[in-house]
């Protein structure tokens, strides 16, 4: 661990950590139940058991249609991480673990080496918080 979760500062994400699940994601047009809806269904009980303070919500389209199922993890003043190519069965546990790390990280930043292995190759975007804006653009904890 880099120690980013051990600080007692005000850089932890404030407000709720939110996992947004694209419910319009689908693998094929003839899919009876869209993979995004199945992801939401699989994620809710896992999140309730492992990260009950994290809010899980359905959203219609995260704009990553070529990489279903897609989720985003965000907080009002934290980074936003978008992951794609998730399967409901394997993805739910990884997203729950990531959300817990996110809630402890400075501005929600979770370094690549600290992400669940499944998510390391499925990152679509990492968008910095508007509150974290160093001139050199480095993420929190870089160079420490």
pLDDT per position as a tens digit, 18-66 = 999 999 998 987 778 899 999 999 999 999 999 999 999 999 999 999 9
In the chain, where are the structural domains located? 18-127
Q: Which whole number is the average pLDDT over 130-138? A: 81
CB-neighbour burial class of residue 15 (10 A; exposed 0-12, middle 13-18, buried 19+): exposed
CATH number, domain 18-127: 3.40.30.10
SS3 55: strand
pTM of the model: 0.87
């Amino acid at each position: 661990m880099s120690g980013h979760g051990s600080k007692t500062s005000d850089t932890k994400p404030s407000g709720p950590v939110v996992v947004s699940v694209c419910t319009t994601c689908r693998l094929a047009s003839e899919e009876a139940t869209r993979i995004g809806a199945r992801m939401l269904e699989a994620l809710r009980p896992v999140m309730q058991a492992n990260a009950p303070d994290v809010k899980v919500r359905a959203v219609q389209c995260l704009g990553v249609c070529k990489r279903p199922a897609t989720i985003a993890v965000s907080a009002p003043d934290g980074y936003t991480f978008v992951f794609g190519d998730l399967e409901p069965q394997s993805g739910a546990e990884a997203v729950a673990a990531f959300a817990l790390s996110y809630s402890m990280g400075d501005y929600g930043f979770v370094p690549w080496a600290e992400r669940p292995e499944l998510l390391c190759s499925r990152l679509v975007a990492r968008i910095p918080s508007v509150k974290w804006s160093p001139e050199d653009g480095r993420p929190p904890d870089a160079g420490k």
